[in-house]
Amino acid sequence: MKDPYETLGVTRTASDAEIKSAFKKLARKFHPDLHPDDKEAEAKFKNISAAHDLLKDPEKRRRFDAGEIDASGAERPQERYYREYADGPGYASHAAQDGFASNEDLEAFLSRAFGGGGMGGTRRQSGAAFKARGQDVSYTLPVTFLEAATGARRTITLPEGKTLQVTIPEGAEDRQMLRLKGQGIPGFGGGPAGDAYVELHVAPHAFFQRKDDNIHVEVPITLKEAVLGGRIEVPTIGGTVSMTVPKGSNTGKTLRLRDKGVRNRKTGAAGHQIVTLKVVLPEGEEPELAAFLESWQPASPDEPRKEMLS
């Protein structure tokens, strides 16, 4: 993993505010929502997030700067102790005439190098001291149109039997990436677990369509409702509502239901539902309607195809 300062494009003396600003700028640029199916952008976003997670934590940043952990948060091998000891005055005592150090000297060296109390204690403590962050994992989660629009909770059952509780935020979009912190592969030696990234795949709806935060739907009305107007029931993503159809409405007329669209995740404001009317004639024979139309003389010439034919 690259140096976190290099990943975020900041210097090692950067302030917390500068680090946060750099992260936000890069996150907006490489967020998976803006680059559907772009694995390279997804990988960059993960690296940016990991770098920010390390540098925003004062203790982790101090330890990284001191060389105690690497860019992934894993403990670094404590090689410096060996170098310090080997360069010190006690180094010569390890070189016995037969080329091997005495048990006493070796034990002292190991104790100093690893902070143990003897060879047996050294093995236990050196093993316990090594920590590594677990790997991140990625999943895809199919969700319905309404689950994404209004929010929901889903449970993912993994192949090994583990379950993950996923909260789908209100207004979620297709290919949106959710991050479940600490739900990835467990760490080693007590190290932190990796993260789980869940990509949402939103299924289309039978009659709703989403455009930005607005919901569009085509609603059929009868000829009588179109001519005389009236109240009709209209489905929305939040349930059925009553709407007034104006007199003389025609196919293609649009009406707006305020605040019945998708709630914007950033502003908190809801979009609208745009209703397009479609006049539908009754099925089967309608003798009275046919007789009325045969004798009906419209107030203005009925030439709906005039523009097409001119």
CB neighbour class for 232 (10 Å; exposed up to 12, middle 13-18, buried from 19): middle
Buried b vs exposed e over 172-184: b needs ≥16 C-beta within 10 Å? Answer: bebbbebebeebb
Tally the domains of the chain: 3
The rounded average pLDDT for each run of 10 residues, N- to C-terminus, in the chain (310 residues) is 88 90 85 77 86 89 86 68 41 41 50 48 52 89 94 87 90 93 89 92 94 95 93 95 95 95 90 96 86 81 70
Q: Within 13 Å and on the Cβ side, how many CA atoms surround 42?
A: 18
Same domain, 180 and 216: no
* 18-53: pLDDT as tens digits: 998 888 888 878 877 677 778 888 888 888 888 898
- Range(s) of the domain holding residue 269: 209-283
* pLDDT of res. 79: 44
Is 170 a domain residue? Answer: yes
Is 304 a domain residue? Answer: no
Q: What is the CA radius of gyration of the chain?
A: 34
* pLDDT of res. 147: 95
* pLDDT of res. 127: 47
Q: Angle 43-47-48 (CA atoms, 0-180°, nearest 5)?
A: 115
Residues, the chain: 310
Query: For the domain that residue 144 is a member of, what is the CATH number?
Result: 2.60.260.20
* pLDDT of res. 119: 45
Is 223 a domain residue? Answer: yes
- Mean model confidence pLDDT for the chain: 81
CB neighbour class for 28 (10 Å; exposed up to 12, middle 13-18, buried from 19): exposed
